[in-house]
Structures are given as structure tokens and as C-alpha cells.
Amino acid sequence: MPDRLQQVLQAIDRLNAEDPNTETVGGTARPKELLYAERLTDWVLRLDPAAPEPLRIAARGQHVRRWTIPRSRYEMTRRGYLRWRETLKAFHADMVAQVMREAGYAESEIERVRRLMSKRELPHDAETQVLEDALCLVFLETQFADLRRKEPEAKMVEILQKTWKKMSEQGRAEALKLPLGLEERTLLGKALRG
């Protein structure tokens, strides 16, 4: 791994290690966004073992310091949710850009990472699609079961259909291999038939 890439990934990890929210894995409480960044990076590398630096950086920085802009600051409406998401996208991209500049990346490389993180080039850009697939796979693998317990079935079917629509054939094939619980697998089946 080139030195500047290592420098950027470590800097993002240090920022995410400050997350006061934790998730317990294997009996150990870990900073939630640090864990998320690791999971997302792992999926990107599983989908594309030769993932270029911008894609690796975009994955690692996708939720950098996300906890500092809580959803509760915005209206609890669809419009409020979308405003929150747009604010987060810009915030994450700006944080990653700053870290990349400090490591000596060119503005063109920083702009590439911004485009990947914005996901505006979906589905036409292969690297953006890998990132989106990884995001969807992390959701299905680590967040789906908890969300299923909180949301009505009809809402979950809609969420799963939207998730599936965003994924490539490769991402979908990986999703079907996930060790989902019986209820999650049944719900996914309903979503795919619907």
C-alpha cells in the first residue's frame, strides 16, 4: 500500500475512532463508524481486490465523523431526511478532501473521490457501482435484521426492493450468499417476488 494511501486511511480511522457510539463485536465495544468503515472497505476489496486508491479512500471515508451531524437536527420528514443526507455527503467529502490534501494528493484525485462518494455517476461508473454494492451489502449483512424488527413488513419490503435495484448483478449474487436469518431471508424473498 503506498505511503500516502496508508496515511489517509489511518487518518480517517483516527477520526472515526473518536465516535462515542459503539457496537459490540466478539465481546468488544468498538467505535461504530470505525467498524462501519472497516466493513465497507472489506466489501469493496472482496468485490474488487484490485480496487484503486480513490475507491479505497471513498469507502473508508464514506461515514467519517457521521455522528457529529445527527439526524435529530433535521425535520423528521422525507424532506428533512434528504437534507440531512445531502449535508452528510458534503461533510464527509470535505473531511476526506482535507485529509487527502495533507497527504499530498492532487486536486484531480481528490475530485475523483468526491465523485465516488457522491454516487452521482451511478450506475454508469464501475467503481461507483462497486462502492454502492458494498454499501448495500454492509446494510444487508449488519443492519437489516435490526431494522426489520423496528419497521413494518411493507416498509421493509420497499426498502429491500430499493436496495436491490441499486445493486449490480455481482452485488446481488453476493447478497444471496449472505448468512441471513430465516425471517430476513423470507422477507428478502418477498421483496424480490414483489
**105-148: per-residue pLDDT in tens?**
999 999 999 999 999 999 999 999 999 999 999 999 999 999 99
Residue 12: which of 20, 4, 21 has the closest Cα?
A: 4
Task: Tell whether 58 and 151 lie within a shared domain.
Answer: no
Residue 140: which of 182, 188, 183, 186 has the closest Cα?
A: 188
Task: Tell whether 112 and 149 lie within a shared domain.
Answer: no
Q: 3-class SS at 105?
A: coil
Q: How confident is the model at residue 2 (pLDDT cuts 50, 70, 90)?
A: low
Q: What is the pLDDT of residue 1?
A: 54
CA distances to 7, 41, 107, 149, 194 from 2, in Å: 9, 16, 18, 43, 46
Task: Tell whether 16 and 75 lie within a shared domain.
Answer: yes
Q: How confident is the model at residue 53 (pLDDT cuts 50, 70, 90)?
A: very high
Q: What is the pLDDT of residue 149?
A: 95
Q: Which positions ≥6 away from 62 have C-beta within 8 Å? A: 36, 37, 40, 92, 117, 131, 135
- The count of structural domains within the chain is 2
Residue 52: which of 117, 113, 119 has the closest Cα?
A: 113
Q: How confident is the model at residue 167 (pLDDT cuts 50, 70, 90)?
A: very high
Which of 94, 118, 142 is a domain's end point? 118
Using CA atoms, how far apart are residues 177 and 149, in angstroms rounded to an integer? 22
List the domain range (segments joined by +) for residue 190.
123-194
Using CA atoms, how far apart are residues 165 and 163, in angstroms rounded to an integer? 5
For the residues 34-42, what does the mean pLDDT come to? Answer: 98
pTM of the model: 0.94
**DSSP for residue 30:** E
Task: Tell whether 3 and 70 lie within a shared domain.
Answer: yes
Which of 98, 118, 138 is a domain's end point? 118
